[in-house]
């Protein structure tokens, strides 16, 4: 009995484990779904439409983009592909025919075509270089698609089978098994006619920061109008200077090394040297208090000398966001995953104005101010209430300073307490009046 109990508990832990790690409380339903639609099929050849949906509220797929891959079960081949291409053709010598197949590898790796691909290679939703925006930021660019015709080179005449072991080729994501779902319906002729897939499978991929990288990429510093203390980012938030695992850094005034920018990968970060060693620093300044409102100034600084962040976003959790009155210089959308709490929102750049956070330097900064209503019952100057509970940049959680370091309100009793000088003057006057 005891043993069974133990086994049950172990089983449960095992079952819950991957779910826990893929879970982000700021985006509990967030996932990337790979949809596999068999649009036409004969016994030996299938026409497939693959779509990648970024169903995440704020995390996007940045350059160099997705790099989809899977394992075929047997001798499947990809005859042709539109809207994407495999990185390698592989050995197609066993296949007889006039035109060689596009790819004969057991584990093909597929790249989205770049914008401006030849017209006869394009399909709907293709050709974005693998980059996908989040659902919130640009609902028109959160899906990517390509088409292919596949067949099988096996001798027994069986058709191609649904592959396994999907990967997106983006750090931090793991994909589950393909699950058969009701066939997708397609709209044709401007919505007047509906057709449907022969069969449809979904593969759900989820993100975990733990898997993406072991060290954080962002930290928060704090200040307030009522205190002279500026609470800096905690030392070694993202790494310690000089440590082997930390990023390379360049002291202010030193000339950074020349780097070659490859077009298919991100350069390894070269940071401005700081005590926190984070590529991104967010500063939250409580700027002013009015009778009914209070004002926050938010500054995001890029400290990476070799990276521009396009379409950056900042997700903030603060109980007063439900009464946000005005946001200057940034766009804002509340993220209401839990219905009526409304304490989480996403800030992002205004298109063509500040949606690109430039590399470190004088222009590597974006700023905004927020006006919030002082809600009766919840607003308080005490206990660091005016500071954010959580912040993430592009979905990377930022390290907050420990709460005992928060800017303190000037102590009222201290103001009222008589200084030694007043006591002396007072006693002196008292003595004078006595004579
Ligand atoms: C993935 O996201 C879609 C769209 O938001 C949602 O309907 C689905 O339930 C999600 N799946 C999982 C496993 O979270
Ligand atoms: C999928 O991956 C597992 C584990 O690596 C492997 O055993 C299996 O053979 C793979 N599936 C295919 C179809 O290759
Ligand atoms: C970032 O953008 C600026 C201005 O467009 C450009 O001069 C710079 O080379 C870019 N840096 C990187 C690392 O791409
Ligand atoms: C939260 O937002 C929703 C929709 O944006 C709104 O209907 C609801 O009243 C808000 N709740 C609070 C407590 O402000």
Task: Report CA(162)–ligand 2 centroid distance (Å).
Answer: 13
- Cα(208)–Cα(396) distance, integer angstroms: 10
d(CA 282, CA 233): 9
User: Nearest ligand, CA of residue 34?
Assistant: 1
Query: Is residue 279 located within the same domain as residue 372?
Result: yes
Residue identifier of the C-alpha nearest atom 12 of ligand 1: 29
User: In angstroms, how far is the first alpha carbon of the chain from the final one?
Assistant: 94
Residue 222 inside a domain? The answer is yes
pLDDT band at 338 (very low <50, low <70, confident <90, very high): low
Instruction: Answer with the one of 210, 233, 260 that is the final residue of a domain.
Output: 210
- Is residue 375, in this structure, part of any structural domain at all? yes
Specify the DSSP class assigned to residue 357: E
Contact 222, 234 (CB under 8 A): no
For ligand 4, the distance from its centroid to the CA atom of residue 335, given in whole angstroms, is: 10
Q: Compute the distance from residue 245 Cα to the ligand 3 centre, in Å.
A: 26
More confident residue, 412 or 323: 323
Domain for residue 195, yes or no?
Answer: yes
Q: What is the pLDDT of residues 270-288, one digit of tens each?
A: 999 999 999 999 999 999 9
In a domain, 1, yes or no: no
Beta bridge partners of 348: 313, 331
133 with 96, same domain: the answer is yes
**pLDDT (tens digit per residue) in 64-112:** 899 999 999 989 999 999 999 999 999 999 888 788 999 999 999 999 9
427 pLDDT above the threshold of 90:
no
User: CA 210, CA 163: separation in Å to the nearest integer?
Assistant: 27
Same structural domain, 203 and 221: no
3-class state of residue 21 by DSSP: helix
pLDDT band at residue 411 under the 50/70/90 scheme: low
What confidence score (pLDDT) does residue 428 get?
52
Which ligand 2 atom minimizes the distance to the CA of 106? 14
223 and 204 share one domain: no
Residue 262 pLDDT class (50, 70, 90 cuts): low
What would the pLDDT profile of 205-256 be if each residue is shown by its tens digit?
999 877 777 678 899 999 999 998 899 999 999 999 888 777 889 988 788 7
* Separation of alpha carbons 115 and 84, rounded Å: 11
Q: Which ligand number lies closest to the CA of residue 143?
A: 1
Please check whether residues 402 and 279 belong to one and the same domain.
yes
Please state, in angstroms and rounded to a whole number, the distance separating the CA atoms of residues 327 and 371: 7
Q: What is the mean pLDDT of residues 117-122?
A: 92
Tell me: do 192 and 169 sit in the same domain: yes
175 and 242 fall within a common domain? no
Which atom of ligand 4 has the smallest separation from the CA of 340?
11
Adjacency order of strands within the sheet including 218-224: 218-224, 280-289, 293-302, 365-373, 324-328
Q: Judge if 340 and 239 occupy the same domain.
A: yes
Q: What pTM, to 2 d.p., does this model score?
A: 0.83
Q: Give dist(CA 41, CA 101) in Å, integer.
A: 18
Whether residues 139 and 21 share a domain: the answer is yes
**Res. 198: pLDDT tops 70:** yes
Number of domains present in the structure of the chain: 2
Instruction: Provide residues with CB under 6 Å of ligand 3.
Output: 306-308, 358-359
Q: Please name the residue whose Cα sits nearest to atom 2 of ligand 2.
A: 165
Q: Which ligand is nearest to the CA of 256?
A: 3
Helix (H, G, I), strand (E, B) or coil at 4: helix
Q: Which atom of ligand 1 is nearest the CA belonging to 135?
A: 5
In a domain, 334, yes or no: yes
Q: How far is the CA of 165 from the centre of ligand 2 (A)?
A: 7
Domain membership of residue 257 (yes or no) is no
The reply to whether 405 falls in a domain is yes
| Pocket of ligand 4, beta carbon within 6 A | 322, 334, 336, 340, 342
Pick 309 or 8 by higher pLDDT.
309
Tokens of 79: 């005859």
> Do 177 and 30 belong together in one domain?
yes
Ligand 1 atom 13: the closest Cα is on which residue? 204
Q: Of the candidates 210, 226, 242, which is a domain's last residue?
A: 210
* Atom 7 of ligand 2, nearest CA residue: 165
Give the β-pairing of 193-196 and 173-175.
unpaired
Query: Is there a single domain that holds both residue 229 and residue 163?
Result: no
With a pLDDT cut of 90, the percent of the chain lying above it is 60
Please work out whether the CB of residue 165 comes within 6 Å of at least one atom of ligand 2: yes
Question: So what's the pLDDT on residue 431?
Answer: 54
Instruction: State which of 210, 241, 262 marks the end of a domain.
Output: 210
pLDDT in tens, 160-189: 899 999 999 998 999 999 999 999 999 888
Please tell me whether residues 192 and 225 are part of one structural domain: no
Q: How far is the CA of 106 from the centre of ligand 2 (A)?
A: 11
Name the residue with the closest Cα to ligand 4, atom 9: 340
Ligand 3 test: best mutation among 308, 310, 355, most atoms within 8 Å of CB?
Answer: 308
Q: What is the pLDDT of residues 371-393, one digit of tens each?
A: 999 998 889 988 889 999 999 99
What is the domain extent for residue 285? 214-252+270-416
Residue owning the nearest CA to atom 3 of ligand 1 = 55
Nearest residue by C-alpha to atom 3 in ligand 3? 358
CATH of residue 362's domain is: 2.60.40.290
Q: Ligand 1 pocket: which residues have CB below 6 Å?
A: 29, 31, 33, 55, 204
**64 within some domain:** yes
- Determine which residue's CA is closest to atom 1 belonging to ligand 1: 31
The mean pLDDT value for 33-60 works out to 94
Q: Which ligand is nearest to the CA of 166?
A: 2
Do residues 29 and 130 lie in contact, with contact meaning Cβ atoms separated by under 8 Å? no
Q: Ligand 1 centroid to 98 CA: how many Å?
A: 43
DSSP assignment string, 210-274: HHH-SS--EEEEEEETT-S--BPPPTTSS--TT-TTSPEEE-TTSPPPP----SSSPPPPEEEP-
pLDDT in tens, 349-375: 999 999 999 999 889 999 999 999 999
């Amino acid at each position: 009995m005891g043993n069974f109990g133990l086994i049950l508990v172990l089983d449960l832990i095992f079952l819950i484990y991957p779910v826990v790690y893929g879970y982000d409380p700021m985006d509990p339903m967030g996932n990337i779904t790979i949809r596999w639609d068999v649009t036409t099929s004969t016994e030996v050849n299938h026409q497939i439409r693959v779509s990648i949906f970024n169903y995440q509220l704020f995390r996007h797929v940045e350059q160099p983009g997705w790099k989809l891959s899977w394992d075929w079960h047997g001798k499947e081949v990809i005859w042709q592909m539109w809207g994407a291409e495999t990185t390698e053709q592989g050995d197609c010598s066993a296949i007889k025919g006039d035109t060689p197949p596009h790819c004969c590898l057991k584990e093909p790796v597929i790249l989205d075509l770049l914008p401006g691909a030849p017209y006869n290679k394009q399909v709907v939703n293709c050709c974005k270089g693998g980059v996908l925006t989040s659902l919130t930021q640009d609902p028109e660019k959160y899906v990517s698609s390509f088409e292919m015709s596949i067949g099988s080179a096996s001798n027994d005449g069986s058709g191609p089978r649904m592959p396994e072991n999907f990967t997106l080729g983006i750090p931090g994501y793991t994909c589950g098994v393909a699950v058969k779902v009701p066939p997708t319906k397609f709209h044709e002729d401007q919505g007047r006619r509906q057709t449907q897939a022969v069969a449809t499978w979904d593969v759900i991929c989820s993100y975990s920061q733990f898997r993406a990288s072991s060290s954080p990429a962002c930290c928060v510093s704090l200040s307030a109008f009522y205190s002279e203390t500026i609470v800096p980012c905690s030392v070694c938030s993202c790494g310690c200077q000089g440590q082997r695992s930390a990023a390379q850094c360049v002291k202010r005034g030193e000339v950074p090394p020349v780097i070659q920018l490859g077009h298919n990968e991100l350069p390894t970060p070269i940071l401005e040297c700081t005590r926190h060693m984070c590529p991104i620093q967010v500063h939250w300044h409580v700027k002013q208090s009015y009778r009914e409102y209070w004002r926050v100034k938010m500054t995001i600084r890029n400290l990476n000398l070799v990276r521009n962040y396009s379409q950056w976003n900042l997700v903030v959790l603060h109980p007063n966001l439900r009464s946000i009155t005005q946001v200057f210089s940034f766009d804002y959308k509340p993220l209401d995953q839990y219905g009526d709490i409304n304490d989480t929102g996403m800030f992002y750049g205004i298109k063509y104005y500040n949606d690109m956070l430039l590399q470190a330097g004088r222009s590597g900064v974006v700023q905004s101010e927020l006006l919030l209503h002082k809600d009766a019952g919840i607003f308080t100057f005490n206990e660091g209430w005016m500071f954010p509970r959580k912040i993430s940049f592009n979905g990377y959680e930022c390290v907050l300073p420990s709460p005992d370091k928060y800017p303190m309100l000037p102590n009222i009793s201290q103001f009222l307490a008589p200084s030694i000088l007043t006591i002396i003057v007072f006693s002196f006057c008292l003595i004078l009046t006595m004579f």
